Amino acid sequence: MHDSFRESARIEQMFSSIAPHYDFLNRLLSLGRDRYWRSFAVGKLPPIEKGVFLDVATGTGDVAIEIARRYPEGVRIIGVDISGRMIELGREKVKRVGYLDRIELREGDVNLLPFKDAEFDAALIAFGIRNVRDYEHAIKEMARVVKKGGCVIILEFTSLRHPFIIPYRCYVTRLLPVIGEVISGRRGAYRYLPDSMKDFPDPEALKLIMQKAGLRDVRYYTLTFGITAVHVGVKK
């Protein structure tokens, strides 16, 4: 417990330190694909007129904003993130795009979500799950706060090695840490991305973890030659 607290504190500090450059670097480092990947994941949410979705590890709120754009006014979104700085910047962005009445951003840890059971119609996490130590526990926690029959969606990088994306893998492991360091001025922060991608389970293994976490009908879609994958599971 103590170790995982220290680990969370380290990750919180790292993300807070890169937060001011996060959006810009996201576009650059994903070669502009990140918007499409988020939009695809949001497209797997159920079509509802009224309700609440949870965006876990919301960062600066891009997923929450995408949901607000695509859903009617009766749908609200709560975003949580462990980094206070990400939340601050996210709130400014939400205000700028005019969704303050529908999107609420709060600090919170996916390992212990500050919500009652079955509060949400669905929960989504984009590029956040690989930061946690115990994937199954985090997925269980997301499932806990979702209503029965609601879904849990995970968008994440994969460790797949399609021949088409070998140049992209080289870019991520060699060039990205250097570009990230120059722009953010933070040594090592962008080394973390390739390292955490390398250790992340492949899509089949993540599907099994989601099933073990108690989700049914788990399916996944690989995007952009397997650079990322979207997994969807339903709460029993």
Ligand X SMILES: C[S@@+](CC[C@H](N)C(=O)[O-])C[C@H]1O[C@@H](n2cnc3c(N)ncnc32)[C@H](O)[C@@H]1O
168 contacts 227 by C-beta, under 8 angstroms: yes
* The binder of ligand X chosen from 42, 57, 78, 232 (CB under 6 A): 57
Nearer to ligand X, 128 or 203 (CB): 128
Question: Considering only residues 105-164, where is the footprint of ligand X by CB under 6 A?
Answer: 109-111, 126-128, 131-132
The tokens for 163 are: 């021949």
> What is the closest distance, in whole angstroms, from the C-beta atom of residue 8 to ligand X in the complex?
5
DSSP calls for 130-194: GGSS-HHHHHHHHHHTEEEEEEEEEEEE-----GGGHHHHHIIIIIHHHHHHHHH--TTTTTHHH
Q: Compute how many residues bind ligand X; rule: CB under 6 A.
A: 22
> 113: buried, middle or exposed (CB in 10 Å: 19+, 13-18, 0-12)?
buried
Q: How far is the CB of 182 from ligand X (least distance, A)?
A: 19
Note whether 81 binds ligand X by CB under 6 A.
yes
- Spatial strand order of the sheet with 120-126 comes to 103-107, 75-81, 51-56, 120-126, 146-157, 228-235, 215-223
Radius of gyration of the chain (CA): 17
Would you say 36 or 164 has its CB closer to ligand X? 36
CB of 132 to ligand X, least distance (A): 5
Rank residues 64 and 210 by Cβ distance to ligand X and give the closer one.
64
Residue 144 has which token pair? 């806990």
Identify which range of 7-15, 43-51, 94-102, 143-151 contacts ligand X by CB under 6 A. 7-15
Q: Which CB, 65 or 218, lies closer to ligand X?
A: 65
Q: Which parts of this chain interact with ligand X (CB under 6 A)? A: 8, 11, 15, 26, 38, 57-59, 62-63, 81-83, 86, 109-111, 126-128, 131-132
